[in-house]
């Protein structure tokens, strides 16, 4: 299959440069650990052990894939130290029992780490270098608090390369409220409430659980436990409750713990394959990659990153926002989602956006979240066969955004 099946094609100029056909990339399957609250269920669980659990489960769920057929493993972590260091893509694969003939590497693009693992591996599949790849992301923020070991170059501030706020994510969110005054705290709180409610609804409907990998949790104090559902959601959230929360980043500010994602622990994994090899092995296909883009913005308003990355991805795919039926956007902060929605003229409560809720409710273990979005989108597609295209997008520290456009493999014709 070639890229020509979709509007604009994959890389329109490729055929003119080399006599090579880009392979289609399919999202075979994705799973994740339940996300824990930092300092809670996974506080004594190693990050590499979390990756091991999701790797083993995604392989167990896809027995048609001989593990030796995996051409590469990429795992993202933001803080690549200790149990998240040591080239975790390789070390976790070995720990998971994947044959040592399968190589691996590590990826870091902060919050978009897993997304970058997917796009980088997919690029290799498209180029024909790989047939099958395993992507993952992990962040155990209990063990690796944000900014652990960070040593910013003094030139950043001395030469005003970035604003002083750029390294404190909450401040960048406050800055976004400043830039877009129409994005009020009330709108942010309302969106946050929606995220909690949609998450509760998705749990009640059993949409989320099928892709969760229950993980045994070690606690020296309490004994072994088992986390089989996300720890962070607060289904009892109310607008009144949200309104009463403190604004820790700024006196009388707008960003609260309630309209932001929390500090979380978790891991994700996804299997990717060229469509031809997926067919050969009889693997399931949940989504087909259409294209992707990353883009940069001013670091002090990093939350707006998804706007240019989405525009770029759409343009390169020859698509417009009107072609997109479903949106999985990471909710690092409510204001950052709202900035995206406002830009594209989408309502705050549009049912196409984060239909199963998002990071404000389930949490955001930094580098793992990109695949969480994709796994959600695959479920969204499954429930909505009339939806053809969807995007996963997220903002990234130091002023970036990333967007991947996906096609619903089960697309059943035009919308009713």
Partner 1 sequence: MSDMTNPDEVVTHARVRLLDLPSSAGKMALITIDNDRDHTRPTTFGPGGMASLDAALDQVAIGVTGKPFIFAVGADLSAIGSVTDREIISQFGQMGHNVFRRLGEMDVPTFAFVNGAAMGGGTELALHCDYRTMSWGAAAMSLPEVFLGLIPGWGGAWLLPNLIGPANALEVIIANPMQQNKQLKPKDALRLGVVDALFESADFLEQSIRWAADVVNASIVVPRPEPDRESWETIVGIARTMLDDRIHGATPAPYRALDLVSAARTTSRDEGFTAEDEALADLVMGDDLRASLYSFDLVQKRAKKPVGVPDKSLARPVTKVGVVGAGLMASQLALLFAKRLQVPVVMTDLDAERVGKGLEFVRADLAGQVTKGRLSQDKANRLSALVTGSTDKAAFSDADFVIEAVFENLAVKKQVFAEVEAIVSDTCILATNTSSLSVTDMAADLAHPERVVGFHFFNPVALMPLLEIARAEQTDDATVATAFSVGKSLKKSCVLVKDAPAFVVNRLLTRYMGEVIKAVDEGTDIAVADRSVDPLGLPMSPFNLMRLVGPAVAFHVSETMHAAYPERFHVSENMRNIVAAGKTAIWMKQDDGTYIVDPEIAAMLVQGDSPLTEEQVRTRAADALADEARRMLDEGVVAEAQDIDLCMLLGAGWPFWLGGITPYLDRSGAAERAAGRRFLAPGVASVPQ
Stretch that binds partner 1, among 83-91, 221-229, 279-287, 324-332 (CB under 8 A): 221-229
Give the count of residues interacting with partner 1 (CB under 8 A): 21
Nearest CB to partner 1, comparing residues 35 and 294: 35
The C-alpha angle 107, 75, 298, rounded to 5 degrees, equals 35
Is 183 among the residues that bind partner 1 (CB under 8 A)? no
* The only residue of 37, 53, 286, 372 in contact with partner 1, by rule CB under 8 A: 53
Give min distance, CB of 215 to partner 1, in A.
Answer: 6
**Kind plus residue range of the DSSP H or E element containing 230:** none
* The only residue of 214, 253, 296, 318 in contact with partner 1, by rule CB under 8 A: 214
Gap between the Cα atoms of 217 and 45, Å rounded:
6
Do 369 and 330 form a contact (C-beta atoms < 8 A)? yes
Is 222 among the residues that bind partner 1 (CB under 8 A)? yes
Is 224 among the residues that bind partner 1 (CB under 8 A)? yes
Other CB atoms within 10 A of residue 150 CB:
8
Residues with Cβ within 8 Å of 263's Cβ and at least 6 positions away in sequence, in order, are 37, 38, 39, 141, 145, 146
Nearest CB to partner 1, comparing residues 88 and 334: 88
Is 93 among the residues that bind partner 1 (CB under 8 A)? no
Nearest CB to partner 1, comparing residues 51 and 295: 51
Stretch that binds partner 1, among 126-134, 211-219, 295-303, 321-329 (CB under 8 A): 211-219
Annotated active-site residue 111? The verdict is yes
Other CB atoms within 10 A of residue 214 CB:
14
Annotated active-site residue 343? The verdict is no
Nearest CB to partner 1, comparing residues 97 and 248: 97
Stretch that binds partner 1, among 189-197, 224-232, 254-262, 270-278 (CB under 8 A): 224-232
Task: Please state, in angstroms and as integers, the Cα–Cα distance from residue 260 to each residue in 63, 192, 416, following that order.
Answer: 38, 8, 35
Q: Give the residue ranges of DSSP H helices in 217-345.
A: 239-243, 275-281, 306-317, 334-344
What are the φ and ψ backbone dihedral angles of 316, each rounded to 5 degrees? -70, -25
Look up tokens 């594209």; give the residue: 344
Nearest CB to partner 1, comparing residues 59 and 313: 59
DSSP character for 34? P
Is 50 among the residues that bind partner 1 (CB under 8 A)? no
Is 97 among the residues that bind partner 1 (CB under 8 A)? yes
Among residues 236, 214, 287, which one has the least CA distance to residue 57? 214
Coil, strand or helix at 201: helix
Do 142 and 38 form a contact (C-beta atoms < 8 A)? yes
Nearest CB to partner 1, comparing residues 93 and 395: 93
Is 152 among the residues that bind partner 1 (CB under 8 A)? no
Tokens of 67: 């593990």
Is 82 among the residues that bind partner 1 (CB under 8 A)? no
Is 228 among the residues that bind partner 1 (CB under 8 A)? yes
Give min distance, CB of 70 to partner 1, in A.
Answer: 16
What are the φ and ψ backbone dihedral angles of 230, each rounded to 5 degrees? -60, 140
Is 96 among the residues that bind partner 1 (CB under 8 A)? yes
Annotated active-site residue 144? The verdict is no
In the complex, which residues of this chain contact partner 1 (CB under 8 A)? 52-53, 56-57, 95-97, 213-216, 218-226, 228
Could you list the active site residues? 111, 364, 395
């Amino acid at each position: 299959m070639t890229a020509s099946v979709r509007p604009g094609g994959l890389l329109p100029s490729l055929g003119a440069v080399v006599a090579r056909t880009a392979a289609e990339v399919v999202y075979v399957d994705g799973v994740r650990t339940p996300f824990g609250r930092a300092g809670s269920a996974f506080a004594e669980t190693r990050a590499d052990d979390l990756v091991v659990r999701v790797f083993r489960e995604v392989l167990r769920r896809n027995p048609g894939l001989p593990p030796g057929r995996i051409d590469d493993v990429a795992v993202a972590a933001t803080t690549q130290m200790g149990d998240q260091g040591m080239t975790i893509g390789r070390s976790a694969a070995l720990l998971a029992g994947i044959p040592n003939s399968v190589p691996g590497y590590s990826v870091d693009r902060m919050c978009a780490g897993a997304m970058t693992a997917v796009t980088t591996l997919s690029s290799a599949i498209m180029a024909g270098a790989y047939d099958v790849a395993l992507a993952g992301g992990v962040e155990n923020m209990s063990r690796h608090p944000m900014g652990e070991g960070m040593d910013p170059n003094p030139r950043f501030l001395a030469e005003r390369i970035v604003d002083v706020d750029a390294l404190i994510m909450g401040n960048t969110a406050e800055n976004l409220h400043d830039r877009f005054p129409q994005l009020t705290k009330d709108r942010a709180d309302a969106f946050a409430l929606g995220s909690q409610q949609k998450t509760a609804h998705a749990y009640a409907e059993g949409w989320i659980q099928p892709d969760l990998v229950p993980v045994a949790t070690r606690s020296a104090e309490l004994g072994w436990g088992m986390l089989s559902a996300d720890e962070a959601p607060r289904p009892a959230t109310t607008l009144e409750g949200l309104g009463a929360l403190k604004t820790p980043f700024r006196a009388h500010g707008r960003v609260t713990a309630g309209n932001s994602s929390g500090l979380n622990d978790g891991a994700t994994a996804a299997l990717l394959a060229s469509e031809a090899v997926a067919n050969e092995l009889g693997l399931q296909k949940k989504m087909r990659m259409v294209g992707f883009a990353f883009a940069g913005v001013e670091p002090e308003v990093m939350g707006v990153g998804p706007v240019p990355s989405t525009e770029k991805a759409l343009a390169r795919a020859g698509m417009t926002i009107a072609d997109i039926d479903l949106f999985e956007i990471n909710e690092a902060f409510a204001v950052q989602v709202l900035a995206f929605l406002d830009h594209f003229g989408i309502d705050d409560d549009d049912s196409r956006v984060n239909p199963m809720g998002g990071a404000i409710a389930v949490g955001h273990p930094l580098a793992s979240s990109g695949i969480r979005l994709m796994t959600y989108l695959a479920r969204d597609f499954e429930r909505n066969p009339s939806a053809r295209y969807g995007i996963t997008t997220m903002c990234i520290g130091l002023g970036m955004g990333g967007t991947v456009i996906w096609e619903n493999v089960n697309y059943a014709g035009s919308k009713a």
